[in-house]
Structure 1
Amino acid sequence: MTFSLILFLLTVFTGVLWVLDVFIWAPKRRAAAQDELTAFDRDNADSLRRGEQTVVATRNAIVQASTDRPKWLEYTAGFFPVIFFIFILRSFLFEPFRIPSGSMMPTLETGDMILVNKYQYGLRLPVINTKILPIGEPERGDVVVFRYPPNENIDYIKRVIGLPGDKIEYINKKLSINGKPVPIGEIGEYYDEAKMQSLEEFLEKLDKTEHHLLINPRAPSSVYPLSTHTDPKACDYVPGGLVCMVPKDKYFVMGDNRDNSEDSRYWGFVPEKNLVGRAFMVWMNVSKPSRIGFFN
Protein backbone atom coordinates (compact mmCIF):
# COMPACT_ATOMS: atom_id res chain seq x y z
CA MET A 1 0.00 0.00 0.00
CA THR A 2 2.78 2.44 0.90
CA PHE A 3 4.65 1.83 -2.36
CA SER A 4 1.41 2.15 -4.34
CA LEU A 5 0.74 5.51 -2.71
CA ILE A 6 4.29 6.73 -3.36
CA LEU A 7 4.08 5.63 -7.01
CA PHE A 8 0.70 7.34 -7.41
CA LEU A 9 1.96 10.61 -5.91
CA LEU A 10 5.12 10.46 -8.02
CA THR A 11 3.02 9.90 -11.15
CA VAL A 12 0.79 12.87 -10.33
CA PHE A 13 3.74 15.13 -9.49
CA THR A 14 5.76 14.35 -12.62
CA GLY A 15 2.59 14.35 -14.73
CA VAL A 16 1.62 17.86 -13.65
CA LEU A 17 5.11 19.14 -14.48
CA TRP A 18 5.02 17.30 -17.83
CA VAL A 19 1.69 18.92 -18.76
CA LEU A 20 2.89 22.36 -17.69
CA ASP A 21 6.07 21.91 -19.71
CA VAL A 22 4.37 20.61 -22.86
CA PHE A 23 1.60 23.21 -22.97
CA ILE A 24 3.10 26.29 -21.26
CA TRP A 25 6.82 26.29 -20.55
CA ALA A 26 8.06 24.63 -23.75
CA PRO A 27 6.08 27.01 -26.03
CA LYS A 28 7.49 29.95 -24.05
CA ARG A 29 11.03 28.60 -24.45
CA ARG A 30 10.52 28.20 -28.18
CA ALA A 31 9.03 31.69 -28.54
CA ALA A 32 11.89 33.25 -26.59
CA ALA A 33 14.42 31.30 -28.63
CA GLN A 34 12.73 32.39 -31.86
CA ASP A 35 12.93 36.05 -30.86
CA GLU A 36 16.60 35.58 -29.96
CA LEU A 37 17.21 33.77 -33.25
CA THR A 38 15.55 36.51 -35.28
CA ALA A 39 17.71 39.18 -33.60
CA PHE A 40 20.82 37.03 -34.01
CA ASP A 41 20.19 36.48 -37.72
CA ARG A 42 19.67 40.20 -38.20
CA ASP A 43 22.85 41.16 -36.38
CA ASN A 44 25.00 38.46 -38.01
CA ALA A 45 23.59 38.30 -41.52
CA ASP A 46 26.98 38.88 -43.23
CA SER A 47 28.80 36.31 -41.07
CA LEU A 48 26.10 33.73 -41.72
CA ARG A 49 26.32 34.31 -45.48
CA ARG A 50 30.08 33.71 -45.29
CA GLY A 51 29.47 30.57 -43.25
CA GLU A 52 31.68 31.52 -40.32
CA GLN A 53 31.82 28.43 -38.12
CA THR A 54 31.76 30.27 -34.80
CA VAL A 55 28.64 32.22 -35.73
CA VAL A 56 26.92 29.15 -37.18
CA ALA A 57 27.71 27.18 -34.02
CA THR A 58 26.24 29.95 -31.86
CA ARG A 59 23.09 29.95 -33.96
CA ASN A 60 22.77 26.16 -33.64
CA ALA A 61 23.10 26.48 -29.87
CA ILE A 62 20.18 28.92 -29.82
CA VAL A 63 18.08 26.47 -31.84
CA GLN A 64 19.02 23.61 -29.49
CA ALA A 65 18.12 25.68 -26.45
CA SER A 66 14.58 26.04 -27.76
CA THR A 67 14.03 22.28 -27.31
CA ASP A 68 16.14 21.56 -24.22
CA ARG A 69 14.42 21.35 -20.85
CA PRO A 70 16.10 22.78 -17.76
CA LYS A 71 17.90 20.09 -15.78
CA TRP A 72 15.35 20.12 -12.96
CA LEU A 73 12.57 19.46 -15.46
CA GLU A 74 14.56 16.78 -17.25
CA TYR A 75 14.80 14.84 -14.00
CA THR A 76 11.12 15.28 -13.10
CA ALA A 77 8.80 15.80 -16.08
CA GLY A 78 11.26 13.94 -18.29
CA PHE A 79 10.66 10.74 -16.35
CA PHE A 80 6.86 11.00 -16.44
CA PRO A 81 6.29 8.66 -19.44
CA VAL A 82 8.34 5.90 -17.80
CA ILE A 83 6.75 6.38 -14.37
CA PHE A 84 3.27 6.51 -15.91
CA PHE A 85 3.91 3.24 -17.80
CA ILE A 86 5.09 1.52 -14.60
CA PHE A 87 2.09 2.91 -12.69
CA ILE A 88 -0.43 1.57 -15.24
CA LEU A 89 1.35 -1.78 -15.53
CA ARG A 90 1.64 -2.28 -11.77
CA SER A 91 -1.79 -0.90 -10.84
CA PHE A 92 -3.99 -2.56 -13.44
CA LEU A 93 -2.12 -5.40 -15.17
CA PHE A 94 0.73 -7.20 -13.38
CA GLU A 95 2.56 -6.69 -10.09
CA PRO A 96 5.68 -8.49 -8.83
CA PHE A 97 5.89 -9.98 -5.35
CA ARG A 98 8.54 -11.93 -3.47
CA ILE A 99 7.70 -15.04 -1.46
CA PRO A 100 9.02 -14.45 2.10
CA SER A 101 8.18 -17.80 3.73
CA GLY A 102 7.58 -21.48 3.10
CA SER A 103 3.81 -21.55 3.71
CA MET A 104 3.10 -22.28 0.02
CA MET A 105 5.68 -25.05 -0.43
CA PRO A 106 6.10 -27.03 -2.60
CA THR A 107 4.23 -24.83 -5.10
CA LEU A 108 6.20 -21.73 -4.14
CA GLU A 109 9.48 -21.55 -2.26
CA THR A 110 11.13 -18.82 -0.21
CA GLY A 111 12.88 -16.46 -2.61
CA ASP A 112 10.54 -17.03 -5.56
CA MET A 113 9.70 -13.77 -7.29
CA ILE A 114 6.21 -14.06 -8.72
CA LEU A 115 3.91 -12.16 -11.05
CA VAL A 116 0.32 -11.43 -10.08
CA ASN A 117 -2.49 -10.85 -12.57
CA LYS A 118 -4.30 -7.79 -11.21
CA TYR A 119 -7.17 -7.55 -13.70
CA GLN A 120 -8.51 -11.14 -13.60
CA TYR A 121 -10.71 -10.38 -10.58
CA GLY A 122 -11.71 -6.93 -11.82
CA LEU A 123 -10.05 -3.56 -12.33
CA ARG A 124 -9.54 -1.60 -9.11
CA LEU A 125 -8.50 1.95 -8.45
CA PRO A 126 -4.96 2.03 -7.04
CA VAL A 127 -4.36 3.00 -3.40
CA ILE A 128 -8.06 2.86 -2.39
CA ASN A 129 -8.52 -0.57 -4.05
CA THR A 130 -12.11 0.14 -5.14
CA LYS A 131 -13.37 -2.10 -7.94
CA ILE A 132 -14.45 -0.10 -11.01
CA LEU A 133 -14.91 -2.91 -13.54
CA PRO A 134 -15.92 -6.46 -12.57
CA ILE A 135 -14.26 -9.03 -14.82
CA GLY A 136 -14.10 -12.32 -12.92
CA GLU A 137 -14.11 -13.97 -9.52
CA PRO A 138 -11.64 -16.34 -7.80
CA GLU A 139 -12.08 -20.06 -8.42
CA ARG A 140 -11.22 -22.95 -6.14
CA GLY A 141 -7.55 -23.71 -6.51
CA ASP A 142 -6.46 -20.20 -7.48
CA VAL A 143 -3.30 -18.94 -5.79
CA VAL A 144 -4.18 -15.41 -4.69
CA VAL A 145 -2.39 -12.42 -3.20
CA PHE A 146 -4.51 -10.40 -0.80
CA ARG A 147 -4.24 -7.80 1.92
CA TYR A 148 -4.07 -9.65 5.24
CA PRO A 149 -7.38 -8.88 7.03
CA PRO A 150 -5.93 -8.30 10.54
CA ASN A 151 -3.32 -5.90 9.08
CA GLU A 152 -4.06 -4.67 5.58
CA ASN A 153 -0.59 -3.18 5.20
CA ILE A 154 0.72 -6.75 4.79
CA ASP A 155 0.28 -8.83 1.63
CA TYR A 156 -0.34 -12.58 1.99
CA ILE A 157 -0.41 -15.36 -0.59
CA LYS A 158 -2.52 -18.51 -0.18
CA ARG A 159 -4.69 -20.89 -2.20
CA VAL A 160 -8.46 -20.43 -2.47
CA ILE A 161 -10.19 -23.42 -0.88
CA GLY A 162 -13.69 -22.17 -0.15
CA LEU A 163 -15.98 -19.84 -2.10
CA PRO A 164 -18.82 -17.76 -0.64
CA GLY A 165 -21.51 -20.10 0.70
CA ASP A 166 -19.25 -23.18 0.90
CA LYS A 167 -19.11 -25.45 3.91
CA ILE A 168 -15.46 -26.20 4.71
CA GLU A 169 -14.42 -29.08 6.97
CA TYR A 170 -10.77 -29.65 7.85
CA ILE A 171 -10.61 -32.38 10.43
CA ASN A 172 -7.62 -34.61 11.17
CA LYS A 173 -5.90 -33.01 8.18
CA LYS A 174 -8.62 -34.18 5.79
CA LEU A 175 -10.41 -31.57 3.69
CA SER A 176 -14.06 -31.73 2.66
CA ILE A 177 -16.04 -29.10 0.73
CA ASN A 178 -19.84 -29.08 0.92
CA GLY A 179 -19.81 -32.55 2.41
CA LYS A 180 -17.57 -34.11 -0.27
CA PRO A 181 -14.00 -35.19 0.54
CA VAL A 182 -11.47 -33.47 -1.70
CA PRO A 183 -9.60 -36.05 -3.85
CA ILE A 184 -6.03 -36.53 -2.71
CA GLY A 185 -3.26 -38.93 -3.70
CA GLU A 186 0.02 -39.67 -1.95
CA ILE A 187 3.23 -38.87 -3.84
CA GLY A 188 5.91 -39.69 -1.31
CA GLU A 189 8.42 -38.07 0.99
CA TYR A 190 9.46 -34.41 0.66
CA TYR A 191 12.52 -33.08 2.44
CA ASP A 192 12.31 -29.50 3.69
CA GLU A 193 15.91 -28.29 3.50
CA ALA A 194 15.22 -25.07 5.41
CA LYS A 195 13.81 -26.86 8.46
CA MET A 196 15.70 -30.12 7.90
CA GLN A 197 12.63 -32.31 8.24
CA SER A 198 10.77 -34.87 6.16
CA LEU A 199 7.19 -34.16 5.15
CA GLU A 200 4.56 -36.13 3.24
CA GLU A 201 3.73 -34.84 -0.23
CA PHE A 202 0.28 -35.26 -1.80
CA LEU A 203 -1.54 -34.34 -5.01
CA GLU A 204 -4.83 -32.57 -4.32
CA LYS A 205 -7.58 -31.79 -6.86
CA LEU A 206 -9.72 -28.69 -6.31
CA ASP A 207 -12.24 -28.60 -9.17
CA LYS A 208 -10.07 -28.09 -12.29
CA THR A 209 -6.84 -27.43 -10.40
CA GLU A 210 -4.40 -30.14 -9.37
CA HIS A 211 -1.60 -29.08 -7.06
CA HIS A 212 0.93 -30.51 -4.62
CA LEU A 213 0.68 -30.02 -0.88
CA LEU A 214 2.69 -30.99 2.19
CA ILE A 215 1.60 -32.56 5.46
CA ASN A 216 3.71 -32.90 8.58
CA PRO A 217 2.51 -36.13 10.23
CA ARG A 218 4.17 -35.12 13.49
CA ALA A 219 2.27 -31.83 13.78
CA PRO A 220 -0.93 -31.78 15.85
CA SER A 221 -4.29 -31.73 14.09
CA SER A 222 -5.86 -29.24 16.47
CA VAL A 223 -6.61 -25.72 15.25
CA TYR A 224 -7.21 -22.69 17.47
CA PRO A 225 -8.58 -19.30 16.34
CA LEU A 226 -6.70 -16.07 16.79
CA SER A 227 -8.23 -13.18 18.67
CA THR A 228 -8.28 -11.25 15.38
CA HIS A 229 -10.56 -13.79 13.65
CA THR A 230 -12.72 -12.00 11.06
CA ASP A 231 -15.90 -14.06 11.61
CA PRO A 232 -15.68 -16.18 14.78
CA LYS A 233 -19.36 -17.16 14.58
CA ALA A 234 -18.89 -18.68 11.10
CA CYS A 235 -16.56 -21.44 12.35
CA ASP A 236 -16.90 -24.27 14.85
CA TYR A 237 -13.61 -25.47 16.28
CA VAL A 238 -13.94 -29.19 16.95
CA PRO A 239 -11.44 -31.83 18.10
CA GLY A 240 -8.86 -32.23 15.36
CA GLY A 241 -9.93 -29.27 13.23
CA LEU A 242 -12.81 -26.98 12.32
CA VAL A 243 -16.00 -26.57 10.32
CA CYS A 244 -16.72 -23.22 8.63
CA MET A 245 -19.48 -21.68 6.54
CA VAL A 246 -17.87 -19.16 4.21
CA PRO A 247 -19.73 -15.82 4.45
CA LYS A 248 -20.97 -13.85 1.46
CA ASP A 249 -18.26 -12.00 -0.52
CA LYS A 250 -15.50 -13.78 1.40
CA TYR A 251 -13.07 -16.62 0.71
CA PHE A 252 -11.48 -19.41 2.75
CA VAL A 253 -7.77 -19.79 1.95
CA MET A 254 -5.02 -22.16 3.01
CA GLY A 255 -1.32 -22.60 2.38
CA ASP A 256 -0.08 -25.65 0.48
CA ASN A 257 2.33 -26.35 3.35
CA ARG A 258 -0.63 -27.21 5.51
CA ASP A 259 1.09 -27.54 8.87
CA ASN A 260 3.25 -24.45 8.39
CA SER A 261 0.73 -21.84 7.27
CA GLU A 262 -1.17 -19.18 9.17
CA ASP A 263 -4.35 -18.98 7.11
CA SER A 264 -8.16 -18.97 7.24
CA ARG A 265 -8.14 -21.77 9.79
CA TYR A 266 -6.74 -19.31 12.31
CA TRP A 267 -7.73 -15.74 11.37
CA GLY A 268 -10.84 -16.16 9.26
CA PHE A 269 -11.82 -15.17 5.74
CA VAL A 270 -10.52 -12.93 2.96
CA PRO A 271 -13.04 -10.22 1.97
CA GLU A 272 -13.45 -9.76 -1.75
CA LYS A 273 -12.31 -6.15 -1.40
CA ASN A 274 -8.94 -7.35 -0.03
CA LEU A 275 -8.03 -9.31 -3.16
CA VAL A 276 -4.98 -8.07 -5.07
CA GLY A 277 -4.87 -10.64 -7.86
CA ARG A 278 -4.07 -14.18 -8.99
CA ALA A 279 -0.46 -15.37 -8.86
CA PHE A 280 0.49 -17.38 -11.93
CA MET A 281 4.23 -17.29 -12.63
CA VAL A 282 7.65 -17.41 -11.01
CA TRP A 283 9.63 -14.90 -13.04
CA MET A 284 12.86 -15.12 -11.04
CA ASN A 285 14.61 -17.05 -8.30
CA VAL A 286 18.22 -15.98 -7.96
CA SER A 287 19.40 -19.13 -6.18
CA LYS A 288 17.21 -21.55 -8.21
CA PRO A 289 16.73 -20.27 -11.80
CA SER A 290 15.17 -23.63 -12.73
CA ARG A 291 12.04 -22.61 -10.81
CA ILE A 292 11.18 -19.93 -13.37
CA GLY A 293 7.87 -20.72 -15.08
CA PHE A 294 4.12 -21.00 -14.64
CA PHE A 295 2.48 -22.90 -11.76
CA ASN A 296 -0.95 -24.16 -10.67
Structure 2
Amino acid sequence: MDFSLVLVLLTAAMAAIWALDVLWLKPRREASAIASGEAAQEPALVEFSRSFLPIVIVVLLIRSFAYEPFRIPSSSMMPTLRVGDFIFVSKFSYGLRLPVLNTKVLSTGEPERGDVAVFRLPSDPGTNYIKRVVGLPGDVVSMRNKQLWINGEPVPSALLGETVEIECGGFWFDAQVGVETLGDHSHQVFLSEQRDRPSPFLDRPVPPGQYLVMGDNRDCSRDGRIIGYIPESSMVGRAVRIWMNWDAESKRPLWHRIGDPIE
Protein backbone atom coordinates (compact mmCIF):
# COMPACT_ATOMS: atom_id res chain seq x y z
CA MET A 1 0.00 0.00 0.00
CA ASP A 2 1.32 3.43 -0.98
CA PHE A 3 0.73 5.41 2.21
CA SER A 4 1.61 8.68 0.48
CA LEU A 5 -1.14 8.05 -2.07
CA VAL A 6 -3.60 7.29 0.74
CA LEU A 7 -2.71 10.57 2.47
CA VAL A 8 -3.05 12.56 -0.75
CA LEU A 9 -6.45 11.02 -1.56
CA LEU A 10 -7.65 11.52 2.02
CA THR A 11 -6.53 15.16 1.96
CA ALA A 12 -8.27 15.75 -1.38
CA ALA A 13 -11.50 14.11 -0.18
CA MET A 14 -11.61 16.09 3.07
CA ALA A 15 -10.82 19.35 1.28
CA ALA A 16 -13.55 18.68 -1.28
CA ILE A 17 -16.12 17.96 1.44
CA TRP A 18 -15.15 21.10 3.36
CA ALA A 19 -15.22 23.29 0.22
CA LEU A 20 -18.59 21.86 -0.88
CA ASP A 21 -20.03 22.64 2.53
CA VAL A 22 -18.66 26.21 2.62
CA LEU A 23 -19.76 27.08 -0.91
CA TRP A 24 -23.09 25.32 -1.15
CA LEU A 25 -24.35 23.19 1.75
CA LYS A 26 -23.75 25.60 4.65
CA PRO A 27 -25.67 28.56 3.12
CA ARG A 28 -28.64 26.30 2.34
CA ARG A 29 -28.48 24.77 5.80
CA GLU A 30 -28.41 28.17 7.52
CA ALA A 31 -31.23 29.51 5.35
CA SER A 32 -33.34 26.48 6.23
CA ALA A 33 -32.54 26.92 9.92
CA ILE A 34 -33.61 30.59 9.86
CA ALA A 35 -36.86 29.68 8.14
CA SER A 36 -37.63 26.97 10.67
CA GLY A 37 -36.32 28.85 13.69
CA GLU A 38 -34.07 25.94 14.64
CA ALA A 39 -30.30 25.84 15.08
CA ALA A 40 -28.36 24.64 12.04
CA GLN A 41 -26.73 21.25 12.58
CA GLU A 42 -23.42 20.56 10.87
CA PRO A 43 -23.29 17.03 9.37
CA ALA A 44 -20.89 14.64 11.11
CA LEU A 45 -18.91 14.04 7.91
CA VAL A 46 -18.40 17.78 7.41
CA GLU A 47 -17.36 18.25 11.04
CA PHE A 48 -14.92 15.33 10.80
CA SER A 49 -13.37 16.67 7.58
CA ARG A 50 -13.06 20.21 8.89
CA SER A 51 -11.46 19.03 12.16
CA PHE A 52 -8.99 16.51 10.79
CA LEU A 53 -8.00 18.14 7.49
CA PRO A 54 -5.25 20.30 9.09
CA ILE A 55 -3.83 17.24 10.88
CA VAL A 56 -3.73 15.16 7.70
CA ILE A 57 -2.07 18.02 5.81
CA VAL A 58 0.64 18.37 8.48
CA VAL A 59 1.31 14.60 8.45
CA LEU A 60 1.49 14.62 4.65
CA LEU A 61 3.93 17.54 4.59
CA ILE A 62 6.20 16.09 7.29
CA ARG A 63 6.21 12.63 5.73
CA SER A 64 6.78 13.94 2.20
CA PHE A 65 9.35 16.66 2.82
CA ALA A 66 10.92 16.13 6.26
CA TYR A 67 11.07 12.69 7.88
CA GLU A 68 9.48 9.35 7.10
CA PRO A 69 9.47 6.32 9.43
CA PHE A 70 10.59 2.90 8.20
CA ARG A 71 10.92 -0.55 9.78
CA ILE A 72 13.94 -2.80 9.20
CA PRO A 73 12.66 -6.19 7.94
CA SER A 74 15.91 -8.09 7.32
CA SER A 75 19.45 -8.65 8.60
CA SER A 76 21.21 -7.29 5.49
CA MET A 77 22.43 -4.15 7.29
CA MET A 78 23.65 -5.85 10.48
CA PRO A 79 25.35 -4.92 12.69
CA THR A 80 24.47 -1.27 11.92
CA LEU A 81 20.74 -2.02 11.76
CA ARG A 82 18.92 -5.11 12.94
CA VAL A 83 15.50 -6.63 12.48
CA GLY A 84 13.09 -4.78 14.76
CA ASP A 85 14.66 -1.34 14.40
CA PHE A 86 12.31 1.49 13.49
CA ILE A 87 14.15 4.38 11.89
CA PHE A 88 13.65 7.96 10.71
CA VAL A 89 14.71 8.78 7.16
CA SER A 90 15.55 12.37 6.22
CA LYS A 91 13.56 13.10 3.05
CA PHE A 92 15.18 16.51 2.44
CA SER A 93 18.75 15.16 2.39
CA TYR A 94 18.52 14.21 -1.28
CA GLY A 95 16.06 16.84 -2.52
CA LEU A 96 12.38 17.59 -2.03
CA ARG A 97 10.04 15.49 -4.16
CA LEU A 98 6.30 15.66 -4.73
CA PRO A 99 4.42 12.84 -2.99
CA VAL A 100 3.21 10.00 -5.23
CA LEU A 101 4.75 11.55 -8.38
CA ASN A 102 8.27 11.54 -6.85
CA THR A 103 9.20 14.51 -9.02
CA LYS A 104 12.07 16.55 -7.56
CA VAL A 105 11.06 20.17 -7.02
CA LEU A 106 14.08 21.36 -5.03
CA SER A 107 17.65 20.04 -4.93
CA THR A 108 19.00 20.05 -1.37
CA GLY A 109 21.84 17.54 -1.62
CA GLU A 110 23.12 14.31 -3.16
CA PRO A 111 23.93 10.89 -1.69
CA GLU A 112 27.45 10.70 -0.27
CA ARG A 113 29.75 7.73 -0.01
CA GLY A 114 29.02 5.97 3.27
CA ASP A 115 25.41 7.15 3.63
CA VAL A 116 22.84 4.62 4.77
CA ALA A 117 20.14 5.29 2.20
CA VAL A 118 16.57 4.16 1.59
CA PHE A 119 15.64 3.76 -2.07
CA ARG A 120 12.87 2.35 -4.24
CA LEU A 121 13.84 -0.89 -5.93
CA PRO A 122 14.16 -0.01 -9.65
CA SER A 123 12.50 -3.27 -10.73
CA ASP A 124 9.65 -2.79 -8.21
CA PRO A 125 9.17 0.88 -7.21
CA GLY A 126 6.62 -0.14 -4.58
CA THR A 127 9.37 -1.88 -2.57
CA ASN A 128 11.82 0.06 -0.41
CA TYR A 129 15.36 -1.16 0.31
CA ILE A 130 17.97 0.18 2.71
CA LYS A 131 21.70 -0.18 2.02
CA ARG A 132 24.95 1.75 2.32
CA VAL A 133 26.14 3.90 -0.59
CA VAL A 134 29.62 2.64 -1.56
CA GLY A 135 29.95 3.91 -5.13
CA LEU A 136 29.23 7.38 -6.51
CA PRO A 137 28.82 8.17 -10.22
CA GLY A 138 32.13 7.46 -11.97
CA ASP A 139 33.55 5.31 -9.13
CA VAL A 140 35.02 1.90 -9.89
CA VAL A 141 34.14 -0.42 -6.99
CA SER A 142 35.82 -3.79 -6.43
CA MET A 143 35.80 -6.56 -3.82
CA ARG A 144 39.10 -8.37 -3.28
CA ASN A 145 39.33 -10.99 -0.53
CA LYS A 146 36.57 -9.28 1.47
CA GLN A 147 38.30 -5.92 1.07
CA LEU A 148 36.33 -3.10 -0.54
CA TRP A 149 38.30 -1.11 -3.11
CA ILE A 150 37.26 2.19 -4.69
CA ASN A 151 39.04 3.67 -7.68
CA GLY A 152 42.01 1.37 -7.22
CA GLU A 153 42.49 2.20 -3.53
CA PRO A 154 41.57 -0.07 -0.61
CA VAL A 155 38.94 1.31 1.75
CA PRO A 156 40.43 1.63 5.27
CA SER A 157 39.27 -1.40 7.27
CA ALA A 158 40.37 -3.76 10.00
CA LEU A 159 39.12 -6.92 11.68
CA LEU A 160 38.23 -6.59 15.35
CA GLY A 161 39.11 -10.17 16.25
CA GLU A 162 35.49 -10.99 17.07
CA THR A 163 33.37 -13.74 15.50
CA VAL A 164 29.58 -13.91 15.56
CA GLU A 165 27.09 -16.51 14.38
CA ILE A 166 24.51 -15.10 11.99
CA GLU A 167 21.52 -16.49 10.08
CA CYS A 168 21.13 -15.99 6.35
CA GLY A 169 18.45 -17.59 4.20
CA GLY A 170 17.75 -20.27 6.79
CA PHE A 171 21.44 -21.16 7.20
CA TRP A 172 23.78 -20.26 10.04
CA PHE A 173 27.42 -19.37 9.57
CA ASP A 174 30.26 -17.63 11.39
CA ALA A 175 31.21 -14.11 10.42
CA GLN A 176 34.06 -11.89 11.50
CA VAL A 177 33.36 -8.39 12.71
CA GLY A 178 35.27 -5.65 10.97
CA VAL A 179 35.28 -1.87 10.94
CA GLU A 180 35.29 0.08 7.68
CA THR A 181 35.65 3.78 6.92
CA LEU A 182 33.88 5.32 3.92
CA GLY A 183 34.39 9.05 3.72
CA ASP A 184 33.42 10.46 7.10
CA HIS A 185 31.54 7.28 8.08
CA SER A 186 33.09 4.52 10.20
CA HIS A 187 30.89 1.49 10.67
CA GLN A 188 31.07 -2.19 11.49
CA VAL A 189 30.57 -4.94 8.92
CA PHE A 190 30.06 -8.71 9.02
CA LEU A 191 32.42 -10.75 6.80
CA SER A 192 32.13 -14.50 6.36
CA GLU A 193 34.63 -16.95 4.89
CA GLN A 194 32.56 -17.31 1.72
CA ARG A 195 34.24 -16.39 -1.53
CA ASP A 196 33.61 -12.90 -2.93
CA ARG A 197 30.50 -13.10 -5.08
CA PRO A 198 31.02 -12.26 -8.75
CA SER A 199 29.01 -9.35 -10.09
CA PRO A 200 28.68 -7.61 -13.46
CA PHE A 201 28.29 -4.31 -11.58
CA LEU A 202 31.75 -4.36 -9.98
CA ASP A 203 35.09 -3.41 -11.55
CA ARG A 204 33.48 -0.91 -13.93
CA PRO A 205 32.54 2.78 -13.58
CA VAL A 206 29.23 3.54 -11.92
CA PRO A 207 27.09 5.25 -14.62
CA PRO A 208 26.32 8.99 -14.38
CA GLY A 209 23.39 9.78 -12.10
CA GLN A 210 23.49 6.33 -10.46
CA TYR A 211 24.90 4.76 -7.29
CA LEU A 212 26.21 1.40 -6.12
CA VAL A 213 24.96 0.17 -2.73
CA MET A 214 25.91 -2.70 -0.43
CA GLY A 215 24.68 -4.13 2.85
CA ASP A 216 26.93 -4.07 5.91
CA ASN A 217 26.20 -7.79 6.30
CA ARG A 218 28.28 -8.30 3.17
CA ASP A 219 27.62 -11.98 2.52
CA CYS A 220 23.91 -11.87 3.35
CA SER A 221 22.63 -8.91 1.38
CA ARG A 222 20.70 -8.60 -1.87
CA ASP A 223 22.33 -5.35 -2.90
CA GLY A 224 23.90 -3.56 -5.86
CA ARG A 225 25.99 -6.59 -6.72
CA ILE A 226 22.71 -8.30 -7.67
CA ILE A 227 20.08 -5.61 -8.32
CA GLY A 228 22.44 -3.25 -10.13
CA TYR A 229 22.95 0.48 -9.90
CA ILE A 230 20.38 2.74 -8.23
CA PRO A 231 19.29 5.84 -10.19
CA GLU A 232 19.22 9.14 -8.32
CA SER A 233 15.48 9.36 -9.01
CA SER A 234 14.92 6.19 -6.92
CA MET A 235 16.60 7.60 -3.80
CA VAL A 236 14.12 8.24 -0.96
CA GLY A 237 16.32 9.67 1.76
CA ARG A 238 19.14 9.18 4.26
CA ALA A 239 18.59 7.08 7.38
CA VAL A 240 19.46 9.23 10.38
CA ARG A 241 18.24 7.73 13.67
CA ILE A 242 16.63 4.72 15.39
CA TRP A 243 13.47 5.91 17.12
CA MET A 244 12.16 2.53 18.32
CA ASN A 245 13.19 -1.11 18.53
CA TRP A 246 11.20 -4.28 19.09
CA ASP A 247 13.16 -7.50 19.50
CA ALA A 248 11.17 -10.44 18.09
CA GLU A 249 13.01 -13.03 20.18
CA SER A 250 12.66 -11.42 23.60
CA LYS A 251 9.29 -9.79 22.75
CA ARG A 252 10.42 -6.49 24.22
CA PRO A 253 12.21 -3.32 23.14
CA LEU A 254 15.99 -3.13 23.22
CA TRP A 255 16.12 0.16 25.06
CA HIS A 256 19.82 0.79 24.45
CA ARG A 257 19.19 1.08 20.68
CA ILE A 258 16.44 3.67 20.91
CA GLY A 259 17.69 7.12 19.92
CA ASP A 260 20.96 5.86 18.41
CA PRO A 261 22.21 7.81 15.37
CA ILE A 262 22.81 5.78 12.22
CA GLU A 263 26.43 5.95 11.04
Please report the TM-score for the alignment, with normalisation by the length of structure 1: 0.79
What displacement does 1:108 show? 0.3
Equivalences for residues 1-296 of structure 1 within 5 A: 2-37=2-37, 62=38, 65-66=39-40, 68-192=41-165, 194=167, 196-217=172-193, 219-224=194-199, 235=201, 242-287=202-247, 288-293=254-259, 294-296=261-263
Aligned letter for 1:292?
Answer: I
Is the contact made by 2:166 and 2:175 (CA closer than 8 Å) also made in structure 1?
Answer: no
Is the contact made by 1:144 and 1:279 (CA closer than 8 Å) also made in structure 2?
Answer: yes
Is the contact made by 2:176 and 2:192 (CA closer than 8 Å) also made in structure 1?
Answer: yes
Is the contact made by 2:164 and 2:177 (CA closer than 8 Å) also made in structure 1?
Answer: no
Is the contact made by 2:89 and 2:238 (CA closer than 8 Å) also made in structure 1?
Answer: yes
DSSP-derived class of the 1:165 partner: coil
Aligned letter for 1:223?
Answer: P
* Greater percentage in strand: 2
2: CA distance, partners of 1:115 / 1:209: 18
2: CA distance, partners of 1:95 / 1:22: 33
2: CA distance, partners of 1:15 / 1:8: 11
Paired residues in the alignment total: 253
DSSP-derived class of the 2:92 partner: coil
1: CA distance, partners of 2:135 / 2:129: 17
2: CA distance, partners of 1:178 / 1:250: 16
Which one is further off, 166-175 or 15-24? 15-24
What displacement does 1:35 show? 4.9
2: CA distance, partners of 1:107 / 1:129: 28
Q: Unmatched 5+ residue regions in structure 1?
A: 38-61, 226-234, 236-241
DSSP-derived class of the 2:196 partner: coil
Which one is further off, 27-36 or 159-168? 27-36
Q: Unmatched 5+ residue regions in structure 2?
A: 248-253
2: CA distance, partners of 1:31 / 1:149: 56
Is the contact made by 2:143 and 2:196 (CA closer than 8 Å) also made in structure 1?
Answer: no
1: CA distance, partners of 2:110 / 2:22: 41
What displacement does 1:246 show? 0.6
What displacement does 1:82 show? 1.7
Aligned letter for 1:265?
Answer: R
Is the contact made by 1:18 and 1:78 (CA closer than 8 Å) also made in structure 2?
Answer: no
Aligned letter for 1:8?
Answer: V
What displacement does 1:290 show? 2.0
2: CA distance, partners of 1:104 / 1:9: 34
2: CA distance, partners of 1:76 / 1:188: 60
What displacement does 1:193 show? 5.5
2: CA distance, partners of 1:246 / 1:155: 21
Q: Bigger radius of gyration, 1 or 2? A: 1
1: CA distance, partners of 2:120 / 2:90: 15
Is the contact made by 1:189 and 1:198 (CA closer than 8 Å) also made in structure 2?
Answer: no
Is the contact made by 1:223 and 1:266 (CA closer than 8 Å) also made in structure 2?
Answer: no
Evaluate the alpha carbon distance shift between residue 224 and residue 165 of structure 1 in structure 2; reply closer, same or farther with a 3 A threshold: closer
**In angstroms, what is the RMSD of aligned CA positions?**
2.0
What displacement does 1:181 show? 0.8
Give % identity.
46
Q: For 1:18-53, what per-residue CA distance to the aligned partner results, in whole angstroms no more than 9, with x for missing partners?
A: 22234443344445445544xxxxxxxxxxxxxxxx
